[in-house]
Amino acid sequence: MIRDQETMNVLLDNVARFVRERLVPNEERVAETDEIPADIVDDMKALGLFGLTIPEQYGGLDLTMEEEVLVMFELGKTSPAFRSIIGTTVGIGSQGIVIDGTDEQKAKWLPKLASGATIASFALTEPESGSDAASLKTRAVRDGDHYVVNGTKRFITNAPQAGIFTLMARTNPDEPRASGISAFIVEADTPGISFGKRDRKMGQKGAHTCDVIFENCRVPAHNVIGGKEGVGFKTAMKVLDKGRIHIAAICVGVAQRVLDDALRYAMERKQFGQPIAEFQLIQAMLADSQTELYAARCMVLDAARKRDAGENVSTEASCAKLFASEMCGRVADRAVQIHGGAGYMADYGVERFYRDVRLFRIYEGTSQIQQIVIARNMMRAAAR
């Protein structure tokens, strides 16, 4: 749902210009330094990018899902690390509070997230609990008006920058699966929290992940999201349903960027006396990429509109994330191929995207987890 087309056009123009003029020229610098310059982060705050999905009453833009994916189509047209620095605050780090938080929790945290003053991060994955998220072992034991948290969270995006974590921990040890899990808001400077070394990654330089270690960390009981124990896994799944549509939209944006670059290269690069774009085997790669990109864009928009209409989009979110992330991988692979030898060389940038997009098929649920979610939902619907 688009609430006001004119306002939306202004926002999309602003984001597109920001990507073109501020982010694209800094891609190599970010890749080399593994840091997003502070002045760029400040500009992102000024543009309101941290508050895209925070309700207006708390200072955000309160974008609908359709509006959010349209913005991500634009923001995707540059290195994914730029999206990543706002991504957890716009998405998985904040949405637990937005969807299931109490009024007090919203009033306390959302304004700081909307302005970008505080970065939110999502702490679900553990050393022994990845795809099987319900098996997580981090414990939160009630002690008076606090919980004492012990455990380790792994590969946590933006953990080094985070001001708060949406933490999933087990409050009921007698329930080894989902119903024993609660969601918490945990301030990053709470005593008992420490951080592992920054992970060294295949790509997405400038986006940082690390372990977050909780040792007898005392979290106020009123920080249980929604004030209710035992429903934290459901909160996490609701957050991921939304997050998966967001990631699928980013995949569309990045694929568009690399395809644009490949097309430009194919039209400029001459071999056998003519631009290589004139050769049908190159055209096949361009056309297949365009077709798949179009399909992914349609899927993302449809899933977003259905979510805006209040429908359960667990299946559509997984379908969109599965298809768009796999599509993006294929498009990046073809873009390298179209560039030939230049595609393998760092100076042309396309190999960097090839490495960057590999993550899309893994985080916020691997392609195989999306397949499981889709098939299970199909079987449940058929059984009803």
Site residues for ligand COS, window 177-216 (CB under 6 A)? 178
Confirm or reject binding of residue 67 to ligand COS (CB under 6 A): no
Got the DSSP string for 173-212? TT--SGGGEEEEEEETTSTTEEE-PPPP-SS-TT--EEEE
Q: Which C-beta is closer to ligand COS: that of 124 or that of 252?
A: 124
Q: Which phi and psi angles does 215 have, rounded to 5°?
A: -130, 110
364 is catalytic: yes
Angstrom distance (rounded) from CA 87 to CA 85: 6
What track of x and - describes contact with ligand COS for positions 295 through 324 (by CB under 6 A)? Answer: -------------------x----------
d(CA 32, CA 333): 22
**Amino acid letter at 66?**
E
CB of 159 to ligand COS, least distance (A): 12
Residue 363 within binding range of ligand COS, rule CB under 6 A: yes
Q: Single out the residue of 317, 173, 328, 180 nearest to residue 238, CA to CA.
A: 317
Minimal distance, residue 225 CB to ligand COS, in Å: 14
- Interface stretch with ligand COS, choices 129-137, 204-212, 248-256, 332-340 (CB under 6 A): 129-137
Kindly tell me which residue out of 124, 249, 282, 303 binds ligand COS, with binding defined by CB under 6 A.
Answer: 124
Query: Whole-number minimum distance, CB 224 to ligand COS, in Å?
Result: 17
| Residue 146 to residue 134: CA distance in whole angstroms | 23
Report, in Å, the least distance between residue 130 CB and ligand COS.
Answer: 7
Give the range of 119-127, 188-196, 277-285, 340-348 binding ligand COS by CB under 6 A: 119-127
Q: How far is Cα 239 from Cα 220, in angstroms, rounded to an integer?
A: 22
Query: Does residue 360 bind ligand COS (CB under 6 A)?
Result: no
Name which of 48, 89, 52 is nearest 70 in CA terms. Answer: 52
- What DSSP string runs through 327-375? HHHHHHHHHHHHHTHHHHSGGGSHHHHHHHGGGGGTTTS-HHHHHHHHH
Packing angle of the helix pair 5-18, 38-47 (nearest 10 deg): 170
Per the DSSP assignment, residues forming a β-bridge with 170 are: 139, 181
Please name every residue paired with 152 in a beta bridge, in sequence order, or none if there are none: 213
Among 123, 159, 322, 369, binds ligand COS (CB under 6 A): 369
Which CB atom, from 125 or from 289, has the smaller least distance to ligand COS? 125
* DSSP code for 129: B
**Contact characters 214-233, ligand COS, x per CB under 6 A:** -------------------x
Complex with ligand COS: residue 48 or 365, whichever CB lies closer: 365
Min dist CB 267 to ligand COS, Å, is 38
Q: Which residues pair with 120 in a beta bridge?
A: 164
Question: Is-contact 149 139, C-beta < 8 A?
Answer: yes
The candidate with the shortest Cα–Cα distance to 136, out of 88, 163, 170, 159, is: 170
The two tokens of residue 345 are 């060389």
Rule CB under 6 A: is residue 365 a binding residue for ligand COS?
yes
Q: Which is nearest to 295 in space by CA: 320, 270, 263?
A: 320
**Residue from 241, 261, 292, 316 in contact with ligand COS (CB under 6 A):** 241
The reply to whether 147 sits near ligand COS by the rule CB under 6 A is no
Stretch that binds ligand COS, among 22-30, 53-61, 335-343, 357-365 (CB under 6 A): 357-365
Is residue 234 involved in binding ligand COS (CB under 6 A)?
Answer: yes
Among 9, 57, 131, 271, which residue sits at the site for ligand COS (rule: CB under 6 A)? 131
Q: In the complex, which residues of this chain contact ligand COS (CB under 6 A)? A: 122, 124-125, 131-134, 178, 233-234, 237-238, 240-241, 314, 363-365, 369, 372-373
Q: Which residues are catalytic?
A: 364
